Amino acid sequence: MFTRTIRATGEKLTVAHPEEIGLDPEGGKWVTFCEEHKTHVYAATQSAAYYTHGIDFCDGCREGSPAPITKATPVKKATTARKGNR
């Protein structure tokens, strides 16, 4: 198991086997654990666990993170009601 800090948000995430940190191993082989908010999520592979960030599963991280990367700029579809005649 290992713990790393996500630079973007500052959260500390531990990637481990569930039994290493006292969790039920039935959920999956790997688990990503947020040290800050004591939340976790299971993953099938180590790399999946590794690439899971706090904002993916942790409400605390989500609230603490200023700008989710996933939030793209909204496409403003201005309803320019042109009625075809010019």
Tell me whether residue 31 or residue 37 sits nearer to Zn ion (CB atom).
37
| 34 binds Zn ion per the rule CB under 5 A | yes
Binding segment toward Zn ion, per CB under 5 A, in 25-33, 44-52, 57-65, 66-74:
57-65
Alpha-helix runs per DSSP H in the chain? 46-50, 54-57, 59-64
By C-alpha distance, which of 17, 8, 27 is closest to 70? 8
Tell me whether residue 10 or residue 27 sits nearer to Zn ion (CB atom).
10
| 13 binds Zn ion per the rule CB under 5 A | no
Tell me whether residue 38 or residue 83 sits nearer to Zn ion (CB atom).
38
Is residue 56 within 8 Å of 48, Cβ to Cβ?
Answer: no
Closest CB 59 distance from Zn ion, rounded Å: 8
Could you list the residues that contact Zn ion (CB under 5 A)? 34, 36-37, 54, 58, 60-61
